[in-house]
Structure 1
Amino acid sequence: MPKFRRASRALHTCSVTLALVLAAPVALAKTPQASGRGGAVASISEQASQSAMAILNRGGNAIDAAVAAAATLGVTDPFSCGIGGGGFMVIYLADQKRVVTIDSREMAPAAFTPAVFLQDGMPMDFDRVVASGASVGVPGTVRGWHEALQRYGSMSFKQVLAPAIGVARQGFAVSPTFHRLTTENEGKFRQFAGASALYLHDGKALPVGALIRNPGLARAYGEIAARGQGAFYGGPMAQAIIEAVLRPATAQGVTVAGGAMTLADLANYEARIRQPVHSRYRGYELYGMAEPSSGGVAVAEALNILEGYDLKAMTRPQVEHLYLEASRLAFADRNAYLGDPEYVEAPLTGLLSKPYAAQRRGLIDARQAGVTGSAAGDPYPFQDDRSVVLRPMAAPAARAARQESAHTTHFTVADKAGNIVSYTFTIESWGGSGIVVPGYGFLLNNEMTDFDFSGPAPNVPEAGKRPRSSMAPTIAFKNGKPAFTIGSPGGATIITTVLQTIVNHVDLGMPMQQAIDAPRISERNGAASSVEPGFAESDQGRALALLGHRWEATPEEIGAANALVFNSDGTVTAVSESRRHGGGAALVQHAAH
């Protein structure tokens, strides 16, 4: 094992003194569900939900509140998200009755080639690439916030960043979940001076109840508040980002690879305004995220497959068997066809068509689990004349889902005027690359590891390309009115969490809180399905095992969903996790009595 020195001793000592000597603030009581009128928010962080509510109470709209919540999550949940990463925002504009989406996904630097993660023709070690400058994509979050505020918001960066700046300066108490995540990533954080200084003490995670302040991040937000997105993509902050990527500050005896990002890569980054994926399911109209996310397409295809069954008349194990099989087939197609739409022309009309879903449905045996590594289908005959896509010369081979980090965050906000935001954003793995930008207190992503390291595949690395994502922020409507929102973190399990929650709520009739709290199972066309602790031994698990389903050896918590439900009486119910990730925080402007 390499020996680590206490890098940047002054900074490290200052951080630890703040964390271990100052009294921690009183923990805020979180509630996972709230109903009432006016605006509403559901997130995994009490401080983030409070920031959103503060903006709503000051007259801001849902877009303003979403940026405020996201910025605060960058302080309190820095291992999952932040301005060093990217994401996808689905927005409903009530006055226009229109859904728009903002793609602020990270982008590959101009120096990238399809062989960037190959050494002697073989894929590099995944974990070594993660903890390096080579894994860092050009961050898109700040540009995405800028587009959201400029186009659809009503407040300035200075106004919406104020709550997060306050949390960064005043600090927050280390929760049991924060402590656990830090402990699990001690090895990565020890490699980097900045991460060690912020989050470790003598190489170990800060204890529960310790106070973390992040003056560097408060400075970063302050510069963005003063100068807008230009402060991030040019000037001293941009220079510090490039320096951190090219020459990561590491502990003594540790060597990690640098990246190849330039100031031009930052200056040239653009967020994209994209058309949402639109689908129908049992009377609902669903709007999700288009490519480079695969979430909207995969969820829609799986629901199209399931729509051919009378799920309400079936037992829960029967429903879950079909849900798993629909997921398997949707993932086979997702892996074969989807990628950055500026580089890959996918047969989307075919993949989303009901007749194609019927063909795929015909492959499902209601009494037996499908084969491992199911082959992709052929959606090209289902393309219409308006969406002609050239068929590949050879049928795509079956491709198992590659390793994809399960760490992100999702939240959702609505305002009294009816505007809605469903937003998922990330820095990829817990703690991203592990590299903290010196002087600015935020972690850089490792999003480039979302590319397939080798091809041929639609998701191989290329200059300027955005890696395929599984993020699936979703807004559902019924009879032309908002019905619910749903989204989750979890890497590739995002797709199955969103899909399973919709099935639980729509088909099994569960109230949204119950639909979110129900045990999760995730099939991604692999050798075995992911399950949560205790599921394999449950009656459900045993019933599915009799149908041939197999479970991964190590159960783990899947996702951390947040939702809004728009009730027929005009009230709104905000719903978050009651247990996973330490439980979430649901708030409404005017609580129902």
Structure 2
Amino acid sequence: MGLTKKSLVIILLCTFNAQSAVALAGNLAVAPSRTTHTTKTPIATGTGGAVATISEEASQAALKILNQGGNAIDATVAAAATLGVTDPFSCGIGGGGFMLIYLAKEKRFISIDHRETAPASVTSNLFIENGQALESDDAISSGRAVGVPGTVRGWDEALKRFGTMQFKQVLAPAIRTAEQGFAITPTFHRLNTGASHKFALYSSSSALYMQNGKALPVGYHFKNPDLAKTYKAIAQGGANVFYRGSIADALLKTVNQPPTVSGAKVRPGFMTQADLLNYEVRLRLPIHSTYRGYDLYALGLPSSGGITVGLALNLLENFDTKKMSRQQVEHLYLEASRLAFADRNAYIGDPEYVDVPLEGLLSKEYSKQRAQQLRLDQAASRSSDALPGDPFPFQNDPSYPLRPGLFASSANPVIKEKKEESKHTTHLTVSDKDGNIVAYTYTIEDWGGNGMVVPGYGFLLNNELTDFDFSAPHPNSPEAGKRPRSSIAPVIAFKDGKPAFTVGSPGGATIITTVLQTLVNHIDLGMNLADALAAPRMSERNNAMTQVEPNFIGGAQATGLARFGHEWNVDKSDAEIGAANAIRFNPDGTVTAISEPARHGIGSALVQKKAH
């Protein structure tokens, strides 16, 4: 294992002058909201702060904090903690994430990386036994899959540096929701059912989420007093109580001695108290790219999301989409995404362990060269994967290390990982009356994480280490202390020096395509942001077939694109692609919060004051 000099940079702060940003043309025609506190709606327009999440309780928690005088950072933590109660199968304090923040007064962007890390015991053979990679289900439902959780440290860092409130205030709504409970929705039941095969392995998980061997039924009044107890401890004692003491002891015992039911066998982990105590948040530079007059700010490494979105948009910018039909634009979107994923899969990993050619990948000159492979009239053959390009000549630093034994090139492609990245995460976005913006995606990876509820504390553990590539050598192969490559990709867009919109989504590797397609829909195809977010999704990730949602099959888009040679695939186990949330900053000074109109049971958008 070799650390680069980048590992010496613990905290990277960057200042972007928002006056240098350029921005969004046209008005977003979104009708004013009729939301009340008892009616869930995916669109709300008004003034002051705004919030969009997938959960009514979480959106209400954020709005409550905003109304109490908290800022967007305070409200984000409140919403995220509540999502840990209402959407526990996709997020929670047993996982990690990335928070992208715009500080309006300072005109500055910062990202808070609280991605999980590999314990010190991890080697490149983490998921290899007898020379073979473990089956995906065996790897996921194991103690080996658990990364050191970063969420609580991330929330603490956000509040202390950029918030105005303390844990005691922002965790109060989540504590109340966990104690008072709520009626299980069809979406909660569906996700619970999908994870029941894992929950059935563990006594603590089956006790919380199952009844008579089955997932809790729709309408069941669900409470989580153990999670309320955990939140209360954090509210009283701060982040340290999660990383040492009784909670930490219970967490470690769960990882290393899984609470299996009689007869169940799973592989234990090897996490230590030192792993928990040594966990550190990273404050990092977000990446900045431009697209057709917009300035886009997104997450950098170790997330691949913002980089892959930026790379694909750079490819598209070589074509005049205004002169094209919708089908031609969508064809190019799919082809650009395919090439961008080839580069993502080959080069991106934790920057503290590998030298990623970031400058080259995001170079406009590199995109001009790479775009020559895109045909306007025909999809590239899917009989073999697209090979990565060679971004190294586009690095300005002539001393940049070349590592042909590790990095891929057209002559030396990295073996493509065969497993699919899990699609189960949550995204939320919040703005406040002062213009601060937060786009936050956090996760426990698979639906229900690794399936283990920490006994007595009510939260699920992550299986984030399965985001590593199982084969080595690879920029994303497992190493001690390393952060797995992520696909998290929230974007904050500026134009004419002012915020234009923000958008993000859950969905594993489909996060990238959801965000990318929403941007193409909005900027290139001229859809208002609500329609851009709601449109049927296509996810091309350098696979033999393009994944689409069921309502796309048989429509005019599918038929037209098929003439270019595109072929479609629907994931029958999880047909929805993403569950996005967005905020649009309107020219008249109002804000429009936008969530999913149908996916994930309809999202919840709220504003402080309604427009009339």
TM-score range relative to shorter protein? over 0.9
Cα deviations across residues 392-413 of structure 1 (Å, max 9, x unaligned)? 2574336367410000000000
C-alpha deviation, 1:189, in angstroms: 1.1
* Alignment match of 1:439 (pick from 432, 441, 456): 456
Cα separation, 2, equivalents of 1:366 and 1:457: 33
Structure 1 consecutive aligned stretches of length 4 or more whose deviation exceeds 3 Å: 393-398
TM-score under structure 2 length normalisation: 0.91
Cα deviations across residues 206-255 of structure 1 (Å, max 9, x unaligned)? 11111111010001100100111101011110001000000111111111
* 1:135-534 equivalences in 2 (<5 Å): 135-372=145-382, 373-385=385-397, 388-393=400-405, 395-397=412-414, 399=416, 402-534=419-551
Task: Give secondary structure in 1 for the equivalent of 2:568.
Answer: coil
C-alpha deviation, 1:193, in angstroms: 1.0
* 1:72-91 equivalences in 2 (<5 Å): 72-91=82-101
Cα separation, 2, equivalents of 1:338 and 1:576: 30
Amino acid at match of 1:53: L
Given that residues 380 and 391 in structure 1 are in contact (C-alpha distance below 8 angstroms), is that contact kept between their aligned partners in structure 2? Answer: no
Cα deviations across residues 266-286 of structure 1 (Å, max 9, x unaligned)? 000001000001100111111
Cα separation, 1, equivalents of 2:68 and 2:570: 49
Task: Give secondary structure in 2 for the equivalent of 1:509.
Answer: coil
* Alignment match of 1:40 (pick from 36, 45, 50): 50
* Alignment match of 1:558 (pick from 557, 563, 577): 577
In the alignment, which residue of structure 2 is the partner of 1:568? 587
Unaligned residue ranges in structure 2 (runs of 5+): 1-36, 406-410
Cα separation, 2, equivalents of 1:150 and 1:386: 40
Given that residues 347 and 389 in structure 1 are in contact (C-alpha distance below 8 angstroms), is that contact kept between their aligned partners in structure 2? Answer: no
Cα deviations across residues 119-165 of structure 1 (Å, max 9, x unaligned)? 11110111011111111110000000011001000000111101100
C-alpha deviation, 1:309, in angstroms: 1.4
Are residue 545 (structure 1) and residue 555 (structure 2) matched? no
Cα separation, 2, equivalents of 1:421 and 1:322: 31
Amino acid at match of 2:127: F
In the alignment, which residue of structure 2 is the partner of 1:7? none
Structure 1 residues 352 and 401, CA, compared in 2 at 3 Å: closer, same or farther?
A: farther
In the alignment, which residue of structure 2 is the partner of 1:54? 64
C-alpha deviation, 1:387, in angstroms: 7.9
Task: Give secondary structure in 2 for the equivalent of 1:385.
Answer: coil
Amino acid at match of 1:284: Y
TM-score under structure 1 length normalisation: 0.94
Cα deviations across residues 438-472 of structure 1 (Å, max 9, x unaligned)? 11000000001000111221110000000001010
Task: Give secondary structure in 2 for the equivalent of 1:63.
Answer: helix
Cα separation, 2, equivalents of 1:60 and 1:39: 10
Cα separation, 1, equivalents of 2:322 and 2:83: 38
C-alpha deviation, 1:534, in angstroms: 2.9
In the alignment, which residue of structure 2 is the partner of 1:8? none
Cα separation, 2, equivalents of 1:294 and 1:360: 18
Unaligned residue ranges in structure 1 (runs of 5+): 1-26
Given that residues 332 and 398 in structure 1 are in contact (C-alpha distance below 8 angstroms), is that contact kept between their aligned partners in structure 2? Answer: no
Structure 1 residues 382 and 77, CA, compared in 2 at 3 Å: closer, same or farther?
A: same
C-alpha deviation, 1:172, in angstroms: 1.2
Cα separation, 2, equivalents of 1:436 and 1:173: 21
In the alignment, which residue of structure 2 is the partner of 1:15? none
Structure 1 residues 554 and 419, CA, compared in 2 at 3 Å: closer, same or farther?
A: closer
Cα separation, 2, equivalents of 1:538 and 1:194: 45
Task: Give secondary structure in 1 for the equivalent of 2:188.
Answer: helix
Cα separation, 2, equivalents of 1:303 and 1:401: 26
Given that residues 301 and 349 in structure 2 are in contact (C-alpha distance below 8 angstroms), is that contact kept between their aligned partners in structure 1? Answer: yes
Cα separation, 2, equivalents of 1:469 and 1:387: 28
Amino acid at match of 1:589: Q
Amino acid at match of 1:518: A
Cα separation, 1, equivalents of 2:546 and 2:454: 37
Given that residues 380 and 389 in structure 1 are in contact (C-alpha distance below 8 angstroms), is that contact kept between their aligned partners in structure 2? Answer: no
C-alpha deviation, 1:419, in angstroms: 0.3
C-alpha deviation, 1:108, in angstroms: 0.3
Counting aligned pairs with the same residue, the percent is 63
Cα separation, 2, equivalents of 1:403 and 1:453: 11
C-alpha deviation, 1:29, in angstroms: 2.4
Are residue 98 (structure 1) and residue 108 (structure 2) matched? yes
In the alignment, which residue of structure 1 is the partner of 2:77? 67
Structure 1 residues 403 and 479, CA, compared in 2 at 3 Å: closer, same or farther?
A: same
Task: Give secondary structure in 2 for the equivalent of 1:51.
Answer: helix
Cα deviations across residues 328-364 of structure 1 (Å, max 9, x unaligned)? 0000000000000100111000000111011111001
Structure 1 residues 112 and 400, CA, compared in 2 at 3 Å: closer, same or farther?
A: closer
Cα separation, 2, equivalents of 1:391 and 1:105: 26
Cα deviations across residues 487-543 of structure 1 (Å, max 9, x unaligned)? 000100000000000011111111111001100000000111100003121111111
Alpha carbon RMSD of aligned pairs, Å? 1.4
Amino acid at match of 1:487: G
Farther off after superposition, 344-353 or 545-554: 545-554
Cα separation, 2, equivalents of 1:311 and 1:205: 48
In the alignment, which residue of structure 2 is the partner of 1:114? 124
In the alignment, which residue of structure 1 is the partner of 2:598? 579
Cα separation, 1, equivalents of 2:315 and 2:399: 22
Given that residues 549 and 570 in structure 2 are in contact (C-alpha distance below 8 angstroms), is that contact kept between their aligned partners in structure 1? Answer: no
C-alpha deviation, 1:386, in angstroms: 7.9
Amino acid at match of 1:95: K
Cα separation, 2, equivalents of 1:283 and 1:399: 35
Cα separation, 1, equivalents of 2:219 and 2:592: 31
Farther off after superposition, 285-294 or 397-406: 397-406
Given that residues 562 and 576 in structure 1 are in contact (C-alpha distance below 8 angstroms), is that contact kept between their aligned partners in structure 2? Answer: yes
Cα separation, 2, equivalents of 1:160 and 1:190: 33
Given that residues 136 and 419 in structure 2 are in contact (C-alpha distance below 8 angstroms), is that contact kept between their aligned partners in structure 1? Answer: no
Given that residues 331 and 401 in structure 1 are in contact (C-alpha distance below 8 angstroms), is that contact kept between their aligned partners in structure 2? Answer: no
In the alignment, which residue of structure 2 is the partner of 1:19? none
Cα separation, 1, equivalents of 2:195 and 2:38: 26
Cα separation, 1, equivalents of 2:372 and 2:127: 39
Task: Give secondary structure in 2 for the equivalent of 1:559.
Answer: coil
In the alignment, which residue of structure 2 is the partner of 1:14? none
Cα separation, 2, equivalents of 1:62 and 1:260: 37
Cα separation, 1, equivalents of 2:378 and 2:514: 22
Task: Give secondary structure in 2 for the equivalent of 1:432.
Answer: coil
Structure 1 residues 348 and 194, CA, compared in 2 at 3 Å: closer, same or farther?
A: same
